[in-house]
Amino acid sequence: MYPETDPGTTRPVAGLSEDEAAAEARRIIADAYRPTAYRDDSPVPTHGTTPPVAQPGRPPMSQGATDASVLMLAGGTATAMIGGTAAVLMYVSQFADPVVCGLVFGAPSALVLALGRLAKKAKPAPDVHHHYEGPVYQDRRNVHSRTTGVWAKTNNQH
């Protein structure tokens, strides 16, 4: 407990007047009874029956759509920086050739786009997992079909 006066005297503690000491005591008591926040840090279950709730920020979308939107944002930013640099260079030099600036500043963008397409094609195929119950027979033959003629005769060859 916070004493308002020295024991055995009527002199306030720390040089405060009686009114100041009473105000300080009221402030300390009010602080002690002020509501506090509580955060539950217990782990949240990874699955359940409750449907997901949209959170603030970007709207919910698939992983592919998220990757594409981030790629578009990054490409737009890079384009704006390259175009701004070219514009500043042409303005400052007052005699820069726009065709040369386009080649110099466009070449890195074309290189990045070409590398992006190459990386996109180099992705490994996804693993496919099948789960069966009971005896299963898998036929992995390739059938080549060829349809010809007006009346559509189909020949299947194994």
Cα gap 156→38, rounded to integer Å: 70
Average pLDDT, stretch 2-15? 54
Does residue 115 share a domain with residue 70?
A: yes
Placement of tokens 């782990």 in the chain: 43
Name the average pLDDT for the chain: 78
Q: Does residue 150 form part of some domain? A: no
User: CB-side exposure of 96: number of CA atoms within 13 Å?
Assistant: 18
Half-sphere exposure of 137 (CA within 13 A, CB side): 2
Give a yes or no: residue 140 inside a domain. no
Same domain, 71 and 112: yes
Lowest mean pLDDT among 36-40, 80-84, 91-95: 36-40
More confident residue, 109 or 17: 17
Residue with tokens 């009114």: 19
pLDDT in tens, 25-52: 999 988 888 777 777 888 877 777 777 7
The answer to whether 3 and 13 have CB atoms below 8 angstroms apart is yes
131 in a structural domain: no
Please, what is the angle between helix 98-121 and helix 63-93, to 10°?
160
Please indicate, yes or no, whether residues 31 and 77 belong to a single structural domain of this protein.
Answer: no
Residue 44 belongs to a domain: no
Range of the domain at 23: 1-35
Q: In this structure, are 68 and 25 located in the same domain?
A: no
Domain-embedded: residue 24: yes
Q: What is the pLDDT of residues 132-148, one digit of tens each?
A: 888 888 777 777 777 77
Provide the phi-psi class of 86: left if phi over 0, else alpha when psi is between -120 and 50, else beta.
alpha
**Number of separate domains in the chain:** 2
Pairs from 42-45 (Cβ < 8 Å, separation ≥ 24): none
- The answer to whether position 4 is within a domain reads yes
Environment class of 75 (CB within 10 Å of its CB; exposed 0-12, middle 13-18, buried 19+): middle
92 by Cβ neighbours in 10 Å (0-12 / 13-18 / 19+) ranks as exposed
pTM score, two decimals? Answer: 0.31
